[in-house]
Amino acid sequence: MLLGIGTDLVNTQQIAKYKSQSDFFIDEIFTNDEIKYCESMAFPETHYAGRFAAKEAFFKALGTGIGYGMKFTDVEVIQDDLGKPLIKLHRKAKILAEKKNAATIHLSISHSKTSAIAFVVIQKPNLEANV
Amino acid sequence: MSNSKLHILNWEESIDLKAGKYFKPTSVEELMEIVKNKENPSPVRASGSRHSTTKCGVADEGTFVDMRNFNKVKKITEDTVTIEGGCLLIDAAKILEEKGKQFFVNVEIGNITIGSAATCGTKDASFDGEFGQLGSYLIEAKLINAKGEIEIFDENHPKMQSLRSSYGLFGIVYEATFRIKNIQCLRVFHKTYTLEQFVEIHPELLKAKESIMYYLFPFQDKITIEFRSYSDKKPNKSVSKRKWKMRNLFWKKIAPAYGYFVTKYIPFPNLQTFLYNSFNSLLRFLLCNVIVSNCTIAPDQMIRYPEKKGVSKYTFSIWAFPEKIFPEILRDYFDFCKKHYKETGYKTDLLNVGYRIAKDQNPLFSYSYEETVMTADPVSTGEKGWDEFLKAYNEFCIQRKGIPMFNQSKWLNRDLVHKAFGLKIKDFWKLRKEMDPEERFLNNYFRELFSPDL
């Protein structure tokens, strides 16, 4: 059963601009592991943009937007063994997702040189399957 | 003194301030301990009279600090006054008046507390060569910072500009010093213009030395301007107290009660419109023919609202626009009101107002930071339809490069705030982080508005 969907498009140059203008921006938005991952890539901004889009898409899918005490670092993008991006929740985002009965979160990210897009689908538990 | 989970509402009773723990300290030491003690949950939010119309003061189940025991005027000099953070502006103004002094800015809501006046947005029409925000005259503030220590900001402090727009995010201001001046006779008169006449005289208004506040009548295409100017005369026995009292009675009781009554109990839209229009005509007549004087005093403009709203209830929002394009904005605003009414059946049930406010870079988030502005402030009793009207109005404003206020423009969101303030958000966020790295004072409202937006 669907809880919500969310999508977000981010301009890579905007990330680069933000990064150059404020040294605290990256720490504010991304977890240490995300920073490590992005900085290990040839074009870090592209990957930061994808992750930022994923976080925004998640907030939209949850139906809240950023707020309710959630921080960007409460939503972390990780990869499985095959490199597929997944969302891992922490603190307030985790509590809120549980409150809303979110069971499964699907994430897809894509990027070009200039932009990144993310799409998130959140599912509630499939009650029919349990009957 | 502390209590758990109190439901404290803002003055207009539209917002739950969500106090997890409640304190009403009586000393600076107590205040320091409240902030220092980590058993008191974050965010710690200081509160005064709770007249903000937005969620800027919400404590999110954290610690709510009622500052109203800090209510003394501590020192008056020739050109400064030092006041405790929870003192009402109107109380301080009355004491100053006895000493022949006055604030530079005398806002209508006299219940605003000094801590709020120092660090939040305020508005009043600017006089020639002066500013329209109280915080711009703040020259020193003593606050309890995130470590629970006393920190003093003076005019030369590098973060003073940001403190004036910090809304309690840098700490709790328990004492503030403002510039003041000798009390002066204030001349006041009103004139009503049609929209077309206003457009015609607008270039002259830009050169006017008088302060300009106005009442807007979108459904009658009219605007009544209140012109005020200081004279060198010292107020004597001829000073007229009755004029402002009369106006204040209208604002405080008669207009909100009338608006509420008509909105609530008259079900016929045409009759409602007739009653609003008749009332507005009467008001215009009174303003232009009765509220006229060569010698009033500015502190008398302040209104002391009762602690409980009762029939005084009114609410409002504000956006500021460059004064040069204001005729265009005003025309659009009147059209917007009419269109919104046609589509939704809702119209604001009180007089809309506005102010001309001089360019002012003293507070970081000043709505007149770039240039002199004129504002358009819808006012209402807050009945059904008001919130939807404001959301539509916010979109109207941002499309026209309007600038809002964090404590008085309701339903702001991250997108609107980033569009309005741009890079200033990042500058402020950096300073806020330096002042409060563990987010002792940061509530969800500001976290959401200031989160990066790409």
* Domain residue ranges in chain A: 2-130
Closest CB to B444: pick one of A21, A28, A67: A67
Distance from CA of B446 to the nearest CA of A (A): 9
B246 and B384 assigned to the same domain: yes
B209 and B104 assigned to the same domain: no
CATH number at residue B29: 3.30.43.10
- Chain B environment of A52 (Cβ under 8 Å): 452, 454
Q: Are B60 and A29 an interchain contact pair (Cβ–Cβ within 8 Å)? A: no
Domain count, chain B: 3
Question: How far, in Å, CA of A59 to CA of A53, rounded?
Answer: 10
Q: Compute the average pLDDT of residues B273-289.
A: 89
CATH number at residue B87: 3.30.465.10
Catalytic one among A60, A71, A90, A92? A60
Q: Compute the average pLDDT of residues A58-62.
A: 96
B171 and B210 assigned to the same domain: no
Q: Compute the average pLDDT of residues B71-100.
A: 97
B191 and B178 assigned to the same domain: no
Closest CB to B454: pick one of A15, A69, A71: A15
Q: Least CA distance to B432: which residue of chain A?
A: A24
Within a domain: B421: no
Q: Are B413 and A14 an interchain contact pair (Cβ–Cβ within 8 Å)? A: no
A55 is catalytic: no
Task: Kindly provide the b/e burial profile for residues B60-83, where b requires at least 16 CB atoms within 10 angstroms of the residue's own CB.
Answer: bebbbbbbebbbebeebeeeebbb
- Going by C-alpha positions, the residue among A41, A19, A86 that lies closest to residue B454 is A19
Distance, CA of A22 to chain centre: 21
Specify the pLDDT at position A131: 43
Range in B5-9, B268-272, B304-308, B391-395 the model is least confident about:
B5-9
Q: CA separation (Å) from A40 to A18, A48, A77?
A: 19, 11, 15
Within a domain: B434: no
State which of B183, B201, B226 marks the end of a domain.
B183
Specify the pLDDT at position B261: 86
B179 and B196 assigned to the same domain: no
B28 and B58 assigned to the same domain: yes
B193 and B222 assigned to the same domain: yes
Q: Least CA distance to A20: which residue of chain B?
A: B426
Closest CB to B454: pick one of A14, A21, A69: A14
Question: How far, in Å, CA of B429 to CA of B446, rounded?
Answer: 10
Backbone φ, ψ for residue A3 (5° rounding): -95, -40
Distance, CA of B106 to chain centre: 11
Q: Compute the average pLDDT of residues B320-324.
A: 97
Closest CB to A68: pick one of B433, B444, B454: B444
Closest CB to B430: pick one of A11, A22, A66: A22
B102 and B135 assigned to the same domain: yes
Chain B CB within 8 Å of residue A29 CB: yes
A106 is catalytic: no
Return the ∠ at Cα B106 (arms to B127 and B12), rounded to 5°.
Answer: 130
Within a domain: B52: yes
Q: Residue ranges of the alpha helices (H) in B1-103?
A: 28-36, 89-98
Return the ∠ at Cα B125 (arms to B276 and B425), rounded to 5°.
Answer: 105
- Chain A environment of B60 (Cβ under 8 Å): 69
State which of B165, B183, B201 marks the end of a domain.
B183
Which residue is listed with tokens 């215009």?
A: B284
What mean pLDDT value characterizes chain B?
A: 93
Which residue is listed with tokens 């870090």?
A: A44
pLDDT digits (tens, 9 = 90+) for B1-14: 555 567 899 998 89
Within a domain: B393: yes
E strands present in B327-441: 352-357, 373-376, 379-380, 403-404
Specify the pLDDT at position B4: 53
The answer to whether B19 and B315 are in contact (CB under 8 A) is no
B395 and B286 assigned to the same domain: yes
Q: Which amino acid, B383?
A: E
- Going by C-alpha positions, the residue among A22, A52, A70, A58 that lies closest to residue B448 is A70
- Chain B environment of A49 (Cβ under 8 Å): 454
The ipTM value here is 0.73
E strands present in B197-350: 211-217, 222-231, 293-296, 315-316, 319-322
Specify the pLDDT at position B41: 96
Q: Compute the average pLDDT of residues B178-204.
A: 95
**Which pair of structure tokens corresponds to residue B39?**
């058993």
B158 and B14 assigned to the same domain: no
Q: Are B433 and A66 an interchain contact pair (Cβ–Cβ within 8 Å)? A: no
Q: Compute the average pLDDT of residues B439-443.
A: 96
Q: Are B430 and A24 an interchain contact pair (Cβ–Cβ within 8 Å)? A: yes
Within a domain: B435: no
Residues of chain B that touch chain A, judged by Cβ-Cβ distance less than 8 Å = 60, 413-414, 423, 426, 429-430, 433, 444, 447-448, 451-452, 454
Catalytic one among A84, A111, A113, A124? A111
Q: Is B135 helix (H, G, I), strand (E, B) or coil?
A: helix
pLDDT digits (tens, 9 = 90+) for A62-83: 998 887 889 999 999 999 999 9
- Looking at residue A39, the DSSP 8-state letter turns out to be H
Task: Determine the structural domain holding residue B142 and report its residue range.
Answer: 73-183
Q: Compute the average pLDDT of residues A83-101.
A: 95
Chain B CB within 8 Å of residue A59 CB: no
Backbone φ, ψ for residue B202 (5° rounding): -55, -45
CATH entry 1.10.10.10 includes domain A2-130: no
Distance from CA of A66 to the nearest CA of B (A): 6
Distance from CA of A14 to the nearest CA of B (A): 6
Chain B CB within 8 Å of residue A123 CB: no
B153 and B192 assigned to the same domain: no
Q: Compute the average pLDDT of residues B216-243.
A: 87
Closest CB to B454: pick one of A52, A67, A69: A52
Specify the pLDDT at position B245: 86
Distance from CA of A84 to the nearest CA of B (A): 24
pLDDT digits (tens, 9 = 90+) for A31-51: 999 999 999 999 999 999 999
State which of B162, B183, B204 marks the end of a domain.
B183
Q: Compute the average pLDDT of residues A5-13.
A: 95
- Chain A environment of B431 (Cβ under 8 Å): none
Within a domain: B20: yes
CATH number at residue B285: 3.40.462
Distance from CA of A9 to the nearest CA of B (A): 9
B271 and B379 assigned to the same domain: yes
Q: Least CA distance to B61: which residue of chain A?
A: A69
Confidence of residue B237 (pLDDT cuts 50, 70, 90): low
Within a domain: B451: no
